[in-house]
Structure formats: C-alpha cells, structure tokens
Homo-oligomer: A and B are copies of this chain.
Amino acid sequence: MDSTNVPRPRGRPRRFDPDQAVATAQHLFHARGYDAVSVAHLTEAFGIKPPSFYAAFGSKGGLYARILDRYADIGAIPLAELLRPDRHVAACLQAVLEEAARRYAADPAAAGCLVLEGTRCNDPEAREAALVYNLAAEEVIRQYIAARYPQEAERVTDFVSTTMSGLSAKARNGHDLDRLLATARLAGASLAQALHD
C-alpha cells in the first residue's frame, strides 16, 4: 500500500507543492510582516511565476488567510491545553504569558506573534482577518477567567492580551528569551494579586 497512491488528477501536474509553499510563505510573513512581503518575493521563494501563484492561491490576501488558519492550528499558543480547570487561574494565565515569551523569541528571524503583528499591518483586509483570530483567542481567555472570576474577566483579559501584544512588540525589537520571560513572570505578579482568593 502506497501512501502516495492517490489517483492522479487530470491535467498537467503541478511542479511545486502548495503546502510547502504555504509553509514558506508563513515564515516570510512572520519574518517581515504582511506589508513588507510582496507577491514578487513570494513567487521567487516558491520558484514559480505570478500566474501560477494566482491560480493556486487567488491573491496575496487569500494566501494570508490560509496561513492564519495554519498558524492557529500548529503555530499559535495552545490555550486549550494551558488553561486548565484543575489549576489556579492565575497560574495558568502566567503559563500562557511564559509560553508566549518562549514562542515569540523562538526564532529571532521571525519574532513575535504572526497574528498580533498582522493586526497592525496597513492592508485593511489582512488586518481584519488577523483581528478575527486575535479576538477569538481573547474570548477563550475571557471565558476561562469568567468561569471562576466573573467580576475580573474583562480587565484581567485586557491585561493578559495587552501584555502579549507588548511581548510580541519587544520580541520584534530584539528582546531575547531571557528578557521576555522575566517580563512575563513579572506580569504574573499582577495576575496573582488580581485573582487571589
């Protein structure tokens, strides 16, 4: 049994792998930001010409939407795992901040959060697309807090998301893992104080 034993589709076969291209594009967008990556950069990185790009992905914005989805699946912070009902809320939120620090500093050539940085680009469509993912993540955090601290959910969520935005910004400004982690841990003190029982 051959794992590549899919019936060959009709027509001329592709000379490039769209999935590989999406992965390459994700790295490019993460490293330089949506605005600074042109279709010419992408097509050169993929080894194809613009018409093949548009046939495969529709538009630069369309490719970006695919990448946001991919990032939410395999690149973003696993909130569902970190926000545990059987642990202290403050401890889990601090774990989220520390995980953010680790991921934002993991690749200095692509620092910060792809989604958070995307919410600040100059293309309205791409910005709104990134905002959807950002707001969805904030909503997960808010619900998690509200289950045990309904009075504090709004402001603590704001604090966590503001801190994450700051961590992403500073990661892109060159703060390394140690500095980001120290900042995340310091922020945790606020959480412990706001959510003490």
Question: Which chain B residue lies CB-closest to A170?
Answer: B162
- List the B side residues contacting A158 at CB < 8 Å: 170, 175, 179, 182-183
Q: Are B169 and A165 in contact (CB under 8 A)?
A: yes
Question: Which chain B residue lies CB-closest to A162?
Answer: B166
What is the predominant secondary structure among interface residues of chain A facing chain B?
A: helix
Of the stretches A56-64, A69-77, A139-147, A184-192, the one at the interface is: A184-192
Task: Give chain A's interface residue range (CB within 8 Å of chain B).
Answer: 35 or more
Docked complex Cα distance between A186 and B153 (Å): 13
A194: CB under 8 A from chain B? yes
Docked complex Cα distance between A156 and B179 (Å): 10
Q: Are B170 and A165 in contact (CB under 8 A)?
A: yes
A26: CB under 8 A from chain B? no
Q: Are B173 and A159 in contact (CB under 8 A)?
A: no
A36: CB under 8 A from chain B? yes
- List the B side residues contacting A156 at CB < 8 Å: 186
A: residues with CB less than 8 A from B are: 33, 35-36, 116, 119-120, 122, 131, 134, 154-156, 158-159, 161-167, 169-170, 172-173, 175, 179, 182-183, 186-190, 193-194
